[in-house]
Amino acid sequence: MSWKEAAEPVLTRMPSVRRPEGHVPFKRKLGWTAGVLVLYFFLTNVYLYGAAQGSDLFGQFRSLLAGGQGTVLQLGIGPIVTASIVLQLLGGADLLGLDTDDPRDQILYQGLQKVLVVFMIFLTGLPMVFAGSFLPPSQALAATFPGGTMGVKWLIFAQIAVGGILVLFMDEIVSKWGVGSGIGLFIIAGVSQKLIGGLFAWPSLDGPTGLIPTWIGIITGSAENVPSLLTGSGIQYLVTGPGDILALVTTVLIFAIVVYAESVRVEIPLSHARVKGARGRFPVKLIYASVLPMILVRALQANLQFLGRILYSQLGPATMPNWLGTYTDGTPTGGLFYYLAPIQSPQQWMWWLAGTGNEPWQIIIRVLVDLTFMVIGGAIFAIFWVETTDMGPEATAEQIQNSGMQIPGFRQNTGVIEKVMERYIPQVTVIGGALVGLLAVAANMLGTIGNVTGTGLLLTVSITYKLYEEIAEEQLMEMHPMMREMFGG
């Protein structure tokens, strides 16, 4: 008996959101998407009952993994992304033996993904609650709660487990009944929230002052402790300090580069085999695999840092070897986990300005490790993404063949079309994945408005661009139902 036959009774019975039986009108799709988005914002403001103030375990990865520190959505999309990494690696090594074109195997794949997500919720949530001071229980509640401190900890874990499962089904609702994907929607929501705060937050609010109020204070002279702008410290104040000109320029450049890269493509001409004059083009974009594989790369880094902080909280500074990691206020300052930590701001590598406390050679090694990790990891996960989402040469050739189209000058044969696609898709996938990784590291090093990180900004711009394209396509389908029939909608 194969593993599929043994696991089928469990995997096929996993709860799931029912697929729509027919066409879902565009207005209804927008309604479902907006409803899930409102629910997401509501849940990010529902704080965990019984939890005291603790440190954010994900830190700078928070905008990328969505959710909110100390809320029901403490885990965010982390379990879903980690489960996707595991499935990508198993699928890439051909260890699952699942054919995604087979409806039965599709159900097994979706069920397996849900089981892995639940497993990751336990694997990530339990250490958060029971190890270290990341989600400490309220001692006032523990004095009267059944089971004392341990009972409160299980209550906290139950809340974040429910939040993780809610995120899973909210993502499924958007994917089946809404526009785009839930994961992309949550990333856009989280990053946009931080961008708006980074631009408009007033001094009277909690947290750092936004860029616009800061400049209003500088221009009107109401800002405090502003050095002379003609000195070196004044220039630093404007460029990398509260003035944050560098972050503003970086944010605008990332927007422009991603929008431009999305429009760069190789267009393969197509013609209909039976309808004369019916022509089209198959676009192979520079960022062919999109920037979504970057979530997997950064999530892998986040899990490594998560492991380091758990080890440090359990072993303590006296027991944990220095070569493995040394920490100051929860931030790695030396050892292996320091070199594996991504650069998140200019202050972490500009030793001549910020005084990071590390030697220049240590910082250079950290930058090179981060750059190598992102460029190579981006290319590898882009290849996995293309193969597992039916965007590879073979799957694309079959889609073109089934639509009745062919490449002019070539025989109408799947093998012939596949050979043509192999000239472009693999190369563009690797180049695009490496380019996105390079852009993410550069944006992190230069800084962004609201400290949304370069990867978060890249994802937001790219997902928004694709969401715009999907909305335009949906509107076209509504206006011309024949188009929906042609594309199998």
Q: Which domain, by its residues, includes 224?
A: 211-243
What are the structure tokens assigned to 140, written together?
Answer: 């006032």
- More confident: 267 or 353: 267
- Residue 56: per-residue pLDDT: 67
The two three-digit tokens of residue 307, written as one number: 């492991």
Question: Could you give the CA distance from residue 478 to residue 484 in angstroms, rounded to a whole number?
Answer: 8
Within a domain: 435 = yes
Confirm whether 345 is domain-assigned.
yes
Distance CA 280, CA 487 (A): 13
Note the pLDDT tens digit of each residue in 307-326. Answer: 888 888 888 887 888 888 88
Positive or negative, the CA dihedral 372, 375, 378, 382 is negative
Same domain as 281, residue 270: yes
Q: What tokens were used for 253?
A: 């450049």
Are residues 130 and 53 located together in one domain of the fold?
yes
- Cα 265 to the center of its chain, rounded Å: 24
Please report, rounded to a whole number, the percentage of residues in the chain having pLDDT higher than 70. 91
Beta-carbon contacts of 58 under 8 Å, excluding residues fewer than 6 positions away, are 65, 69, 76, 78, 302, 306
CA gap 377, 374 in Å, rounded:
5
Strand partners, 281: 269
Q: Would 167 be classed as within a structural domain?
A: yes
How far apart, in whole angstroms, are the C-alpha atoms of residue 280 and residue 272? Answer: 8
Instruction: Report d(CA 298, CA 117) in Å as an integer.
Output: 18
Task: Tell whether 222 and 261 lie within a shared domain.
Answer: no
Inside any domain, residue 229: yes
Q: Do 280 and 215 share a structural domain?
A: no
Q: Which of 131, 153, 178 is the last residue of a domain?
A: 178
- Beta-strand relationship, 331-334 and 279-285: unpaired
User: How would you class 450 by CB atoms within 10 Å of its CB: exposed for 0-12, middle for 13-18, buried for 19 or more?
Assistant: buried
- Total of domains in the chain: 3
Strand order in the sheet with 279-285: 279-285, 265-272, 405-406
Separation of CA 44 from chain center: 17
Is residue 185 assigned to a domain? no
Please tell me whether residue 473 adopts helix, strand or coil conformation: helix
Maximum average pLDDT range among 151-155, 231-235, 306-310, 439-443 = 151-155
Q: Are residues 161 and 57 in the same domain?
A: yes
Gap between the Cα atoms of 123 and 129, Å rounded: 11
Same domain flag for 253 and 110: no
> Tens digits of per-residue pLDDT, 230-259?
777 777 778 877 888 888 898 899 888 888
